[in-house]
Amino acid sequence: MVETLQVEAFLNARNNGPGVTKPSIILADDGNKYFLKGNLGKFGEQLISLDASLAQEAICYKLAKILNVPTPDFAFIEITDEDLSDFPDLRFSTNIVKPGIYLGVKSVDNLLTQELNLILNELSFKVPGAIRRLNNFVSQISNKSDIPKIMYFDFLTANVDRYQNPGNILLHRSNNGKIVLSIDFGYCFFGPYWKSRDYIAGFKKVDLLQKRNFSDKSWLAFSLDVLGANRDLKETLLFKLFDPLIDCKSSANPFNDIYCSTKLLTPSTLATMINSIPDSWFIEGDYQKNLYLQFLLNQVDALPNIFNYLASQNYFTNISGGGLVWEDKNILSQ
C-alpha cells in the first residue's frame, strides 16, 4: 500500500513554465506546497503520454536520497474525482485528466534562475565577460562537493535531458547558503516513454536498458552522445557550469564517494526501492521493474571506465596528470 497525500488547494498554474508536463503548485494535507506532475505532455496542441516518466522520476528521487545526491523531497499525491471537480485547473493546466496517484515534488525557493540562464546563454554565444560572470556565479554555490555526485548520478540513470536543459537544476537558499539541487528525472533511462513512442530514434527502450548490440567502447561513445543531446558533452551549457566545480586537483577523485555508495547497491535494495512505487506507473509490471534494476547494476560497473575516459580526454579543467583513482574505501563499514 503506497502512502499518499491529499490536495488541500490548487495554488498556481505554470502554463508558461518550463517542461512539457506543466506542473502546478498545490497545497497538500501535510501543510507543504508541491509541484504536481502528471504523465501527459503537451507538444503544441497535442497531448502525448509520457508513460514511463512518473515511475522514472520516483526511482531517481528515491535513489538520489540513498546516494546523498541533493534533491527536493517528493511525495505521492492522490487525485480524486472530487479534486478534478473542485480544482478544474488540474485538468486544464496540469493535464491531469483522470483520478489516480501522481507525483509531488516539494516546492523550494529557486534563486537566480534567470541570471544563470542569461549567463549560460551569453556563454554559448561567446559574449565578452561571460566566463568571468559564470565564475562569479559559481563562487556563490556552497555545496560544490555535491556537483560530482550530480554528474555521476546523471550517467548512472542515463539522464538525457540534463545538459541541454538548465531548468533541471535549482539554486536554493538553505541554512548552509545557496545550494544546487538536482530535479526533473522523467527523461532518465533514455527518455520518458515506454511504449507510447521512442525518444531516441532507432533504439527501442528495452534494447537500451539491456545494452543490446553495444560493445563497451560503443556504449561509452553512445552514452556521451545521448547525454550531450548529439553535441560534444563538454560544450553543453550545464557541463560548462559544472566543470569549474569539479576539483580533480586537490582530490584524487571527486567522484569516488558516490562511486563507493553505488557499489553498496544490491539487487535487494533496488528491488525494495522500486517496489515502493505505485504499480500503476509501470506499463509492463515486474518485467519493466527488472529492466530498470538490471540497468542500474550494469551502470554501477560501467561508470568508472566512462569517467576515466572523460578524464583522459580532458573533459575536466581542474585535473592533474595521472587520471582518476578509484578506491572502495571503507565500503564494508558503510
- Average pLDDT of the segment spanning 206-229: 94
331 grid coordinates = 565500503
The strand ranges marked E within the chain are: 5-12, 24-28, 33-37, 40-43, 46-49, 74-79, 100-106, 169-174, 177-182
132 phi and psi angles, rounded to 5 deg: -65, -45
pLDDT at 330: 56
**What's the pLDDT tens digit per position in 60-92?**
999 999 999 999 999 999 999 999 999 998 888
Residue 15 has pLDDT above 60, yes or no: no
**What's the pLDDT tens digit per position in 255-314?**
999 999 999 999 999 999 999 999 999 999 999 999 999 999 999 999 999 999 999 999
What CATH code would you report for 113-312? 1.10.1070
pLDDT at 333: 43
299 phi and psi angles, rounded to 5 deg: -65, -35
- Average pLDDT of the segment spanning 155-184: 87
Is the distance from CB of 66 to CB of 273 less than 8 angstroms?
yes
pLDDT at 249: 81
Residue 16 has pLDDT above 50, yes or no: no
Residue recorded with cell 550545464? 238
Is the distance from CB of 77 to CB of 90 less than 8 angstroms?
no
**Partners of 12 in beta bridges:** 25
Q: Dihedral angle at the C-alpha atoms of 8, 11, 13, 18, nearest 10 degrees?
A: -100
Q: Where are the domains of the chain?
A: 5-106, 113-312
Confidence band (pLDDT; 50, 70, 90) for 110?
confident
Q: Which is more confidently placed, 114 or 140? A: 140
Confidence band (pLDDT; 50, 70, 90) for 49?
very high
Cβ neighbours of 236 (radius 10 Å) = 21
Q: What is the pTM of this model?
A: 0.93
Confidence band (pLDDT; 50, 70, 90) for 334?
very low
Q: Tell me the DSSP string of 101-112.
A: EEEEEE-----S
**Partners of 78 in beta bridges:** 6, 101
